[in-house]
Amino acid sequence: MNALDFVVLIGSMLGIALYGIWRTRGRRDLSAYLKGGHTPWFAIGLSVMATQASAVTFLSTPGQGYLGGLAFVQVYFGVPLALLIIAIFFVPVFRRLNVFTAYEFLGRRFDSKTRLLGAGLFLVQRGLGAGLTIYAPAIVLTTVFGWPLNLTIICSGLLVIIYTVAGGNDAVTVTQKYQLAIIFAGMITAFCLLVAKLPAGLTCADTLTLAGGLQKLNAVNFSPDLHERYTFWSGLLGGTFLMLSYFGTDQSQVQRYLSGESLREDRLGLMFNAVCKIPMQFCILFLGVLMFVFYQFEPAPLFFNPATSHALAMQDDGGNLRAYENDFDAAHIQTRQQLENWLAARHRGDQAAANEAFAAAAAARQQGEKIRLAANRELSSEKSATTANDADYVFITFILRQLPHGVIGLLVAAFFAATFSSKAAELNALSSSTTVDIYRQLIRRDATDAACVTASKWFTAGWGLLAIGFALCAHLAENLIQAVNILGSIFYGVMLGLFVVAFFLRRVGGTAVFWAALAAQTLVFVLFFGSAVSRYWQDFFGCACPGGRLLLKAAVISYLWYPLIGCAACVGFSLLLQSAILFGNLKRQT
């Protein structure tokens, strides 16, 4: 990055933050601070979109498209259905009860312990997630640019804390509009420049045929296999439950759409996202597919993650890395030559020669992938702490190596804008829930509005500092966007279960749903950690633990199913417990 990039980056980020503080100066009353003013539906729609799309979405998703093709888009198949359900059933009730947080509704419907449980589940998972939101882009950008990781986390974290504390909910909404504008400007510029950089003579149909032939356009997979991570069914059923939980029960989203002037604004803001989410994710993934096509004609690095290459270079005085790179480059040259032959044959209408050249290109590319895998395996066998987690580094590598200065600054600003927009919404929601569900319920029931606003500001700062602390200690093994989704999946099912029982099972009471939720959360933990536990058991005792085989099988199902399992278990256990309670009462009476 040069001076121009830094001017674009720092100017846009500071400018938006200062504008947010200036626009929302003097917010003193609690409702304005926590709920915001009269936001129109279009601003709500953008705010909901900006809250969900963190920097990881824009950094990591193109890498997903590059490595795995379009299959990841299926995760978002649940969004339209989930948002419809929320708009029809959830929002009118939240509006009518005039609640600050979604968990306040649980308190009205059941009792205060269930409200505290819902708020507690939210605070735990979102508190951890907030650290991840700030850590994820920082680790990628600092690895690539060589910036100090801790300083990047602290500086970006503090800037968000300052404007969120100053302006509350309105500051979040106001800044999100401009942050989203920076994000879209950056992504559209990158898309146009990438298209311009594709080889001359490669038409749109050629690009699609090439990407499709190398299995990058498999967008929809109807396989019923539960162990496959991304399928139509896991996206539609599991994804609907995941998104229903996220948009319907996560205060960071509920707070966004409850800031509207009326029910109409809230609903239209949600419907805007229901229509736009799938095409938006498709475009980001398709950017990755286009990068894949681009790198078939241009030399790609063996690993996009510089830390992986560095770890390999440490072995054998760099001899290992050079050997792998030479073999990989040779396979790439072979792939490119065969693809050029394929293109020439295709354009002169010689289908047989085109098929032959394409098969040879696919075989050469396969060879390149084998070399990459072998290098990765060697790293793993050396028990290096570094893993070849390339998806997060593909897009940033492309930006740095292929795009001009100024645009680099714009795109890095876009990643920070995305971090700030979701981080600010998370802090605002964490603070609202702590103030409304914990502070005024357990600590100071007679607190005035002014005292609550002051407390809310302290909670925002506290959660922000905690997130920075968590980010400073974070260590991730898997792809970042998956880590964020997996963390949500573990808690969201039970949270959704609480709300499903509240909305649709009127005869179930607070005690039944409270214990059912605890049991359901335990079940999800067992499923998630079951595989590790049974493996440790086997290592320690030399035999399978009771139910170990079943646990091992169950634990490898896609994380997209956890919300459905958690929700179903919570609802099922609630019905059973309520029946048991009613039966017990009847028995006592007779």
Partner 1 sequence: MKSPVEVESPAPETEKTGLPLLRSWPAVYLFVLGSFVLWVALLVALTKIYS
Under the rule (CB under 8 A), what is the footprint of partner 1?
A: 30, 70, 73, 77, 80-81, 83-84, 87-88, 92, 95-100, 104, 208-209, 211-213, 215, 217-221, 232, 262-264, 267-268, 271, 274-275, 278-279, 282, 440, 446-449, 451-452
Smaller CB separation from partner 1, 334 or 454: 454
Shortest Cβ distance from residue 440 to partner 1 (Å)?
6
DSSP per position, 491-546? HHHHHHHHHHHHHH-TT--HHHHHHHHHHHHHHHHHHHHHHHHHHHHHHHHSSPPT
Q: Which is nearer to partner 1, 79 or 162 (CB)?
A: 79
Q: Output the smallest distance, CB 207 to partner 1, in A.
A: 10
> Token digits for 470?
């968590």
Burial class (CB in 10 A: 0-12, 13-18, 19+), 4: middle
d(CA 289, CA 212) in angstroms, rounded, equals 10
Q: Smallest distance, Å, CB 452 to partner 1?
A: 5
Cβ-based nearer residue to partner 1, 415 or 439 = 439
For 483, the token pair is 């880590």
CB 155 within 8 A of CB 24: no
The minimum distance between CB 280 and partner 1, in angstroms, equals 11
Q: Which is nearer to partner 1, 87 or 524 (CB)?
A: 87
Contacts of 210 (CB under 8 A, 6+ apart): 202, 293, 296, 339, 342
Q: Which is nearer to partner 1, 94 or 491 (CB)?
A: 94
CB of 100 vs partner 1, minimal distance in Å: 7
Query: Which is closer to partner 1, CB of 225 or CB of 449?
Result: 449
Smallest CA-to-CA distance from 434 within 458, 469, 465, 468 is with 458
- Cβ closest to partner 1, residue 72 vs residue 178: 72
Give buried/exposed letters for 154-177 (b at 16+ CB in 10 A, else e): bebbebbbbbbbbbbbbbbbbbbb
CA pair distance 7, 4, nearest whole angstrom = 5
Q: How far is the CB of 204 from partner 1 (least distance, A)?
A: 12
Based on CB atoms, which residue is closest to partner 1, 181 or 236? Answer: 236
CB of 5 to partner 1, least distance (A): 36
DSSP state of 291: H
Rounded CA gap, 200 and 429, in Å? 50
Closest separation between CB of residue 268 and partner 1, Å? 7
Q: Phi and psi of 543, rounded to 5°?
A: -145, 165
Q: Say how many C-beta atoms besides its own lie within 10 A of residue 268's C-beta.
A: 18
CB of 483 to partner 1, least distance (A): 26
Q: Beta partners for 483?
A: none
Compute the least distance from the CB of residue 362 to partner 1, in Å.
Answer: 13
Token pair 């038409």 is found at 203
The closest of 412, 487, 494 to 130, measured between CA atoms, is: 487
Q: What is the DSSP string of 381-450?
A: HTT-S-----TTTHHHHHHHHHSPTTHHHHHHHHHHHHHHHHHHHHHHHHHHHIIIIIIIIII-TT--HH
User: Which lies closer to partner 1 via its Cβ, residue 30 or residue 307?
Assistant: 30
Name the residue nearer to partner 1 (CB basis): 70 or 371: 70
Q: How far is the CB of 153 from partner 1 (least distance, A)?
A: 35
Q: How many Å is the Cα radius of gyration of the chain?
A: 25
Q: Cβ closer to partner 1: 179 or 253? A: 253
Cα–Cα distance, 490 to 488 (Å, whole number): 6
